Amino acid sequence: MTPSQKQLDRLYADKIIPKTMYDVLTEELNEKQHYRRSQLNWERFAYYFCIPMAFVGGLSAYYEMSHRIEHSKEHYRNYKPYHFLRNRVKPFMFGDGDTTLFCNKEFEYIPGYVPEWYQKELEAAERGEAPEKEHH
């Protein structure tokens, strides 16, 4: 256990410890105080900056993704299946063989697959109703 600076000063003044030991212990005490201040600074940085920024980044990503989803749905509605698209020389080695590993079936056109949201729009159009808009 390292004594406090006040205790060190008293020990040195009473000639209990020599000057070299006093210097070494004072330096060690200063290093520990510096370490503690640095630790507190990084803790404050993490709590008051990093965590709120992660929260703000998450909100921003959610906001952007909700707009991208609507934009992707618009592309899906306007898709034209040209003959030169989706030609497969050999099937992919995973999944059903027709989609890539990172394929999102809800927003990418896949022959023979109709997403649930688009099916609801088609049914509403058949009934003559306006499709429901999702609120994000």
When the pLDDT of each residue in the chain is averaged and rounded to a whole number, the result is 83
From the list 117, 76, 79, 110, the residue with the least C-alpha distance to 95 is 110
Q: Is the pLDDT of residue 56 over 80?
A: yes
> How far apart (Å, rounded) are the C-alpha atoms in residues 71 and 55?
24
Q: Cα–chain-centroid distance for residue 7?
A: 49
Residue pair 54/37 in contact by the 8 Å Cβ criterion:
no
Contacts for 53 with CB less than 8 Å, ≥ 6 apart: none
d(CA 78, CA 63): 24
pTM of the model: 0.48
100-125 pLDDT per residue, tens:
888 877 777 787 788 888 888 888 88
Would you kindly state where each structural domain of the chain is located, as residue ranges? 1-78, 80-136
Q: What is the pLDDT of residues 28-45, one digit of tens each?
A: 888 888 888 999 999 999
Q: How confident is the model at residue 131 (pLDDT cuts 50, 70, 90)?
A: low
DSSP character for 110?
B
